[in-house]
Chain A
Amino acid sequence: MLEAPSPDGPSDPLGFEVEVQSSYVGGGSVEREGIDVDLDNEWNFSARLLILPRTPVGILRLGAEYEIYDFDIPDNIQVPDRLQALMFIVGLDTKLSDSLLLRFEARPGFYSGDKIEGGDFNVPFLLGGTYLYSSTLQFVFGIGVDFEGEYMVLPGGGVRWKFAPQWVLNATAPTPRLEYEVNNHLMIYAGGELRGKNYRVDNDFVGDPGDPGDLNNAIVRYLEVRTGAGVAWKIGDVGKLSFEAGYVPFRSFNYHRTEVRWHSDGGGFYGAATLKLAF
């Protein structure tokens, strides 16, 4: 047998990842008890920085992310006009064997409405795995845990299958896609995206004028489903620029603890741009 590899071998370069995304959704509405709220304009922006140092137990994921949704809607309704999250990322990518890889990632941070307040702190996390059946077929599984959620534990997963030299079925939540590699620098894809987080709305959230304050500090789960197609350019060795467009068939705001649910009542079209850099 061989003793565990010597720790004094060459050290790997420190990895960095930067991702910036912006998107716009036009149109659509949500409805509750016969009342419609138009979501004419939704702006979404997110930025993430990750440092990925290699350690004897795996690759750490250390960083921070900010994400914001701005909805162009009237005041004094139960639908928040802004949701934002400022979070740290603490995680680990590792492997149990050469076939079974694991990721643990916690996202402690503030999941807020208009204002970021101390009471908005939450620590959702995920635990996932990938089984490398072969170089062309992998199975993905995992759970997301959020103590503020209606369901504290949600399962996820899927399959990634490279079934032809230029085709990949990447049917894994939350971004299932069918990908076609035009060449080494250009990929086109079609698929969907499931976006969802739990936020705590403001302490002075007005909510329903008929019952002001009824939703102050309430937890709302925002869920958005996107379906569309996009194109991704590889920029040199370090970058990737993506443009995507499609339709948002479903959005909902669910105050699950007070059973106030605003359901999707019409979709809208969206466009998104993402820049990802890996150093």
Chain B
Amino acid sequence: MSAVILTGRTFVRVLALVAFVGGGTPLARADAVAELAGFSIFPKADLAELSKSESKPVRSGSTGNARYLSVQTAYVVPGPPAGVLAKMRSWNPARYPELKVYLHSESATDFSRLQSAPANSAISYLVSATAQQSSDLQLSAAERKQLAGAGTAGAGGMAGTVAGFWAKILGGRAQAFASGGSAAQPPYENATSPVRPSDELSGLLRGQEKIRRQFAGLLDGTGIGRGGGSLKPDMYWELLNADEKGVLTLGASYDRTGAGGSIQVANALYYASGGYYAGITLQQLWPVEIEGRASALVWRGDMISSASVGSLRGIERIAAESTMIKDIARVVALFRRDAAGAR
């Protein structure tokens, strides 16, 4: 048989986590839906149906670079946007084993929990890569020099010296972001040519012009794809599983309230030790009434940049997109379940 059989060779586990973050007078349904149609890939939405049905993320095209993937979804959650935003802020993806987020911390300075990383094959890989000074680790040349003191891989979990090394790297990068936005991030100099996370973030936004315009008022005040902005971010770090490998990430979230009680949220993954270069999750929440109940219509757009996606074509690319879609659907389903139950 001369068949070329289909195989998805590479899969990118998407930032499933993206710590969700964040009243007024409810907008008329038509206003919210019209605004949604104006910048998203959803020209129409039936809010009553959205409140009952599962969220169905769909792929969004992305101009600019083959290593970008983008997915959008929309759903309805009971409660006004401010309340939903509060639930997003307190939502912890590490509580759900299926999301493979091992540690989640709302801090940019305390990395002591790295010592309590679980013992599994993904973490063992990260520890081993650190001890062996692997070129897979996304570090600057200056950070790479510090790898020599990162110690050796111990049995299970993350040994003290390895955790100490990463605490130093993450702390330095978080501090750089707080003071100078993603533009202050050192490049990844493990690749053939250096990769700047800030360039990736701005590239992701350039590839989604309508979305960038919709969120321009918020993004202009952030450090996403640029220098430090006027808004103060909520910063966090995570230890997660990306393609069965342990990955450390740094993120920052911003939000602002807009006209008619809508809220915009921007979340950037501005550092990852591997798996992807950078990622952005943008969300907008509109107040709507569904069957007489105050609710929030939520639009969510996820964009990632990953080297492993760059060489995927055809069915392998569709497989990577589908994996990202399923990951986001899982995250949204868990959040909606929690949000509805917590009312």
Interface residues of A (CB under 8 A from B): 1-3, 5-6, 9-13, 15, 17, 50, 52, 54, 58-59, 61, 93-95, 98-99, 101-103, 105, 107, 124, 126, 128-130, 132, 135-136, 138, 140, 142-144, 146, 154-158, 160, 162, 164-166, 170, 172-174, 183-185, 194-197, 234, 236-238, 240, 278-279
Contacts and interface: CB of A to CB of B under 8 A. Distances in A.
Contact of B5 (A6, A162, A165, A173): A173
B60 A13 contact: no
B334 interface: no
Contacts of B307: 184, 237
A58 B317 CA distance: 11
Contacts of A185: 135
A173 B6 CA distance: 9
Interface stretch (B24-32, B62-70, B81-89, B280-288): B62-70
A59 B314 contact: yes
A52 B42 contact: no
Contacts of A196: 1-2
B46 interface: yes
- Chain A contact residues, majority secondary structure: strand
B6 A12 contact: no
Contacts of A130: 6-8, 315, 319
Interface string B58-82: 1111111111000010100000000
Contact of A101 (B49, B207, B322): B322
B314 A124 contact: no
A123 B77 CA distance: 52
A225 to B, nearest CB: 12
A171 B267 CA distance: 39
B61 A9 contact: yes
Contacts of B64: 13
A59 B317 contact: yes
Contacts of A157: 5
Contacts of B207: 10
Contact of B3 (A9, A144, A166): A144
B13 interface: yes
B8 A237 contact: no
Contacts of A99: 322, 326
Interface in B129-184: 134-136
A187 B302 CA distance: 30
27 contacts: A2-B74, A5-B42, A5-B59, A6-B37, A10-B62, A11-B63, A13-B66, A102-B6, A103-B4, A103-B6, A124-B2, A129-B6, A130-B6, A130-B319, A135-B323, A140-B6, A140-B7, A143-B3, A156-B5, A162-B243, A165-B121, A165-B122, A172-B7, A173-B5, A174-B3, A174-B4, A240-B311
Given A5-B60, A165-B121, 17 more contacts: A5-B58, A6-B37, A6-B40, A11-B63, A54-B61, A93-B314, A102-B6, A126-B1, A126-B2, A126-B5, A128-B4, A135-B327, A140-B5, A162-B11, A165-B122, A237-B67, A240-B311
Interface of B: 1-9, 11, 13, 37, 40-46, 49-50, 53, 56, 58-67, 72, 74, 121-122, 124-125, 134-136, 192-193, 207-210, 243-245, 274, 307-308, 310-315, 317-319, 322-323, 325-327, 329
A3 B8 CA distance: 29
Contacts of A129: 6
CB-based closest 7 A-B pairs: A144-B3, A154-B1, A3-B44, A165-B125, A93-B315, A144-B1, A5-B41
Contact of A144 (B2, B63, B319, B325): B2
A3 B49 CA distance: 11
A17 B315 CA distance: 13
A144 B2 CA distance: 7
- Most A-side CB within 10 Å, residue of B41, B49, B62, B323: B41
A98 B313 contact: no
B225 to A, nearest CB: 17
Contacts of B6: 93, 101-103, 128-130, 140, 142
Contacts of B45: 1-3
Given A10-B209, A164-B244, A183-B136, A3 B60 contact: no
A51 to B, nearest CB: 10
A185 B307 CA distance: 11
Given A1-B53, A3-B43, A13-B66, A172 B5 contact: yes
Contact of B62 (A12, A15, A126, A164): A12
Contacts of A144: 1-3
Contacts of B62: 10, 12
Given A1-B53, A5-B41, A132 B323 contact: yes
Nearest to B63: A10
Contacts of A93: 6, 314-315, 318
B50 A1 contact: yes
Contact of B208 (A10, A15, A136, A170): A10
A165 B2 contact: no
B41 A6 contact: yes
Nearest to A162: B244
Contacts of B325: 98
A98 B136 contact: no
